[in-house]
Amino acid sequence: MRALAALRNEVEAADETRGALLAEYRAAVAAGPLSAEVEALQSIKGCGFALAAAFASEVGDFSRFRSGRQVTAYFGLAPKQRSSADSVRLGGISGAGNALVRKLAVEGSWCYAQAGHQPKLMPKGSGVPLEIRMHGRKGSERLLRRREEMIARGMPQAKANAATAAELVRWLWALGTMCREGAE
């Protein structure tokens, strides 16, 4: 019993440390130059604070990408391509780029497997402009609809999830670009 109590105390201490570190991380992001983008990115389902902060810090300047396809390829969510002569065959995702953002996007896109059609609620006092929140809602609805269509066609869950993650990072880039343009 004493060993179990000691383990419980260690878990509680680790949880307190984790909470303190997360609070420091949130404060650092809120004081940083990409705080508006991080807040705006969270307006789409599947994107919490961790994905928003990792995505915004990795992208940095949202204008460096010309299209969503470039963003998808940058994060390794575009399909591998094997081609010879006239044939072009697509494989699994390339896996290039930032593995953390890719993992968080894939994890975030699983929310569309259980998602209802309710919009994501932003916290009170959110400084995200209405236009960006509405675009995030539109993205959430599209991602949910596209995932449902893929599953209805018989696509395996994991493959549909990877495709949803690829489109999710495109929407995140679009939201970040809108936020940056609104600030200028």
For residue 83, the cross-strand partners are: 88
DSSP assignment letter at 44? S
Q: How far apart are CA 21 and CA 34, in angstroms?
A: 19
Would you state the pLDDT for residue 56? 92
**Token reading at 25:** 């991380």
| φ and ψ of 92, to 5 deg | -70, -175
What pTM, to 2 d.p., does this model score? 0.82
Q: How far apart are CA 114 and CA 39, in angstroms?
A: 24
Would you state the pLDDT for residue 52? 93
Q: How far apart are CA 64 and CA 180, in angstroms?
A: 12
Mean pLDDT of residues grouped by 10 in the chain (184 residues)? 88 92 87 86 88 91 88 84 72 74 89 71 70 86 90 91 92 89 63
